[in-house]
Amino acid sequence: MTFRPVSSNRRTVLSGLAATIGIAVAGCLEAVDGGEQSGESPDSPDPECTTDAHEEYGSTEVRVTTPDGEELGAVSAAIADTPERKQLGLSDTESLSEECAMLFVYDEVDDRTFAMPEMSFGIDIVFADDEGVITEIHHAPEPGPDEDGLEQTYPGRGQYVLETVYEWTEERDVEEGDVLQFDQ
């Protein structure tokens, strides 16, 4: 199975409706049991992955598979889909767990270059085409103590760019030709 944007089809609308009803029921049950309702929307980033800078972002689960469909790993990704969010990226993030990531979404496949401004940790930068097929992977180490990260540039071609913790892809044997799968 390869990447397909599915936000406009009936299946997504119905599954979104089912998820909303499920969350509402769970919230009611928590209230009955004396728990607090979180007020989170279904597309809010995973609370464990949210920083103050990213709390308004939508999110999606990104699964990485081989071309044959074998799952190699999955992360909860905040979606950077506006110029401001793409510019900020992970720059105001103190750290990133292995379960969290950021997904940059563009309108079309193009040559892109990512840098490491104001980064306090290393990341993997994964470029993927319009079908989610990985075209390039970079392991970008944390900038040094006297570096601002702007000199560290990582080029690639894609419509989607996934940033994960440093060497996440290596630890899961993710390579070019593997596939990013997510709902958008």
- pLDDT confidence of residue 69: 96
> Tens digit of pLDDT for each residue in 71-103?
999 999 999 999 999 998 998 788 889 999 999
99, 48 in Cβ contact below 8 A? yes
Determine how many CB atoms are found less than 10 A away from the CB of residue 29: 10
> Tens digit of pLDDT for each residue in 37-47?
333 333 444 55
Percent of the chain at pLDDT > 90 equals 57
- pLDDT confidence of residue 141: 96
Q: In this model, does residue 128 exceed pLDDT 50?
A: yes
42-71 average pLDDT score: 78
Pairing label, strands 100-115, 71-80 = parallel
CA distance linking residue 170 with residue 148, whole number of Å? 25
Tell me the backbone φ, ψ of residue 59, rounded to 5 degrees: -145, 165
- pLDDT confidence of residue 1: 35
pLDDT category at 131 given cuts 50, 70, 90 is very high
Give CATH for domain 43-181. Answer: 2.60.120.1140
113, 154 in Cβ contact below 8 A? yes
103, 62 in Cβ contact below 8 A? yes
> Tens digit of pLDDT for each residue in 13-34?
333 433 333 333 333 333 333 3
> 149 is written with which tokens?
């990260």
Q: In this model, does residue 156 exceed pLDDT 90?
A: yes
- pLDDT confidence of residue 35: 35
- pLDDT confidence of residue 179: 98
Ordered by start, the domain boundaries in the chain are: 43-181
Q: In this model, does residue 52 exceed pLDDT 80?
A: no
Helix (H, G, I), strand (E, B) or coil at 109: strand
CA distance linking residue 174 with residue 100, whole number of Å? 16
- pLDDT confidence of residue 95: 87
Burial (0-12, 13-18, 19+ Cβ within 10 Å), 169: buried
